[in-house]
Amino acid sequence: MTRPDDDSLHSLWLGDGVALEPLPLAEVKSRAAAFSRAIGKRNRREYIATAFVTLIFGLYALILPGMLLKIGSLLVIAGGFVMAFQLSRRTSRADVGAEAADVRACYRARLVTEERMLASVGLWYIGPFIPGLVVFLAGLAQTGRLGGVSGFAAFAAFPVLVCLGIWLLNRRAAAMLRKQIERLDAAMPAIKGELE
C-alpha cells in the first residue's frame, strides 16, 4: 500500500546524499561569513536583552517593597552582567590573518568554540540568573500576593519553563553545529585538492 507522502519521503532520502557531500572551498567561505554575521547579531541581541533586564530589575529594586525582592532584583542584574561577560569571553571571533591562511581550519575552530559554548549554556547563561530568580520568587512568596501555593507554583513555573526551553534549544543548536563540523571534516580532502 502506497501512502501519498511516499514520493516526498523518497525524494528527501535521495536528496540527503547532497547534504553529506564535502563542502567546496567557496561554500566554506560563504558559510564562514554568514556564521560571523549570525554570531554578531546574536551577541548584540543578548547585550540589548541584558540592558533591558538591568533596567526592569533596577526599577524593581527601587520600587518593590521587601528586602528579598530588592536583593533578588540586584542578583538578577548581577547574573545578567555575568552572562554578558561570559558570552563575550566564550564566543568565537574571526581571525582575519588565520582565515587568509586556512579558511576551513578557522571556520572549523569557530564552529567548535560555538558548539562548546552552546552545549554548556546551562552553566554560564542560565546559571548566573538562578540565585536572583530564587530570591526574587521567595520575596514574592513572602508578600503573599500570588494567591497561595497554587498561584506561586504557576508563577514560578514560567521562569523554569523559559530556562528549560533555552537549554533545550541551545543543546539542539550545538548538535546541529556538531553535524556541520563533521561535514567540514569530511570535506578536508576535497579542499586540499582545490588548493593544490
Is residue 18 one of the residues assigned to a domain? no
End-to-end CA distance of the chain: 52
Is residue 12 one of the residues assigned to a domain? no
For 156, counting Cβ atoms within 10 Å of its Cβ (0-12 exposed, 13-18 middle, 19+ buried), the class is middle
Is residue 4 one of the residues assigned to a domain? no
Instruction: Work out whether the CA dihedral 169, 58, 133, 90 comes out positive or negative.
Output: positive
Number of structural domains, the chain?
1
The mean pLDDT value for 115-127 works out to 94
- Whole-prediction pTM value? 0.75
Average pLDDT, the chain: 82
Is residue 2 one of the residues assigned to a domain? no
Q: Which residues of 87-109 are buried (b: 16+ CB within 10 A; e: fewer)?
A: beebbbeeeeeebeeebbebbbe
- Least confident piece of the model among 18-32, 76-90, 122-136: 18-32
The answer on pLDDT for 185 being more than 60 is: yes
Q: Which domain holds residue 141?
A: 24-195
Q: Which of 109, 106, 88, 87 is nearest to 96 (CA)?
A: 106
pLDDT of 97 reads 62
- Phi, psi dihedral angles at 23 (to 5 degrees): -85, 130
Is residue 136 one of the residues assigned to a domain? yes
Enter the C-alpha cell of residue 69: 525582592
In angstroms, the CA 151 to CA 157 distance is 10
pLDDT of 145 reads 75
Is residue 10 one of the residues assigned to a domain? no
The answer on pLDDT for 43 being more than 50 is: yes
Where residue 9 falls among pLDDT bands split at 50, 70, 90?
Answer: very low
Is residue 19 one of the residues assigned to a domain? no
- Phi, psi dihedral angles at 95 (to 5 degrees): -115, 100
154 alpha-carbon distance from chain centroid: 26
Is residue 58 one of the residues assigned to a domain? yes
- Phi, psi dihedral angles at 160 (to 5 degrees): -65, -45
Block residue for cell numbers 552553566: 123
pLDDT of 44 reads 95
- Phi, psi dihedral angles at 155 (to 5 degrees): -70, -40
